[in-house]
Structure 1
Amino acid sequence: MQHPAEVWRRKRRSSRAVIAGVVEMVVSMVLSVLQMAPPLVTTIGWLIGFVLVLYGVHVGWLIFYDRDPDGPSS
């Protein structure tokens, strides 16, 4: 069984990554719409945000997946 402090750290890391990724994507889209940055820069910013969201979801999934089994396998 995972230690509660480790689960808490993973949840916090997951949440931070997802929030940072979404903010990065929103900022990139706003800069793109306002044409304040070149399209390549905003595209790279959006891709970095998307990767952060994927990382956060991955860490969140590991919290769920690594828990103890409910019983013996069939």
Structure 2
Amino acid sequence: MQPNEIWRLKRRSSRAAIAGLVEMAVSMVLSGLHAGPPLLTTVGWLVGFALFLYGVHVGWMVFYDREPDGPSS
């Protein structure tokens, strides 16, 4: 992978993971305040969790899809 592509994927990973965590937190706060129907806050939490998992997956792929540093021994 090119350094530019790695940087882009790392940034996408970070944005997705942080957005997922924020969405989960907002859903839990709204659920605690009884500000919305339980189904809506549950779906919001699940969508946030899916975003978080996507961010972790992209970060994992950036880490493990690197080209080897040299020939194997």
1:33 aligns to what? 32
How do 1:52-63 residues align onto structure 2 when only pairs under 5 Å count?
52-63=51-62
Counterpart in the other structure of 1:4: 3
Alignment partner, residue 72 of structure 1:
72
Counterpart of 1:43 in 2: which secondary structure? Answer: helix
The answer for the alignment partner of 1:23 in structure 2 is: 22
d(CA) in 1 for partners of 2:27, 2:6:
32
SS state at 1:35 partner: coil
Query: Normalized against structure 1, the TM-score is what?
Result: 0.92
Offset of 1:69 from its aligned partner? 2.3
TM-score, with structure 2 as normaliser: 0.93
* Structure 1 portions without partners, runs of 5+: none
Matches of 1:64 and 1:4 in 2, distance apart? 13
RMSD over aligned CA atoms reads 1.2
Uncovered stretches (5+) of structure 2, i.e. residues with no partner = none
Aligned to 2:48: 49
Counterpart secondary structure, 1:72: coil
SS at match of 1:37: coil
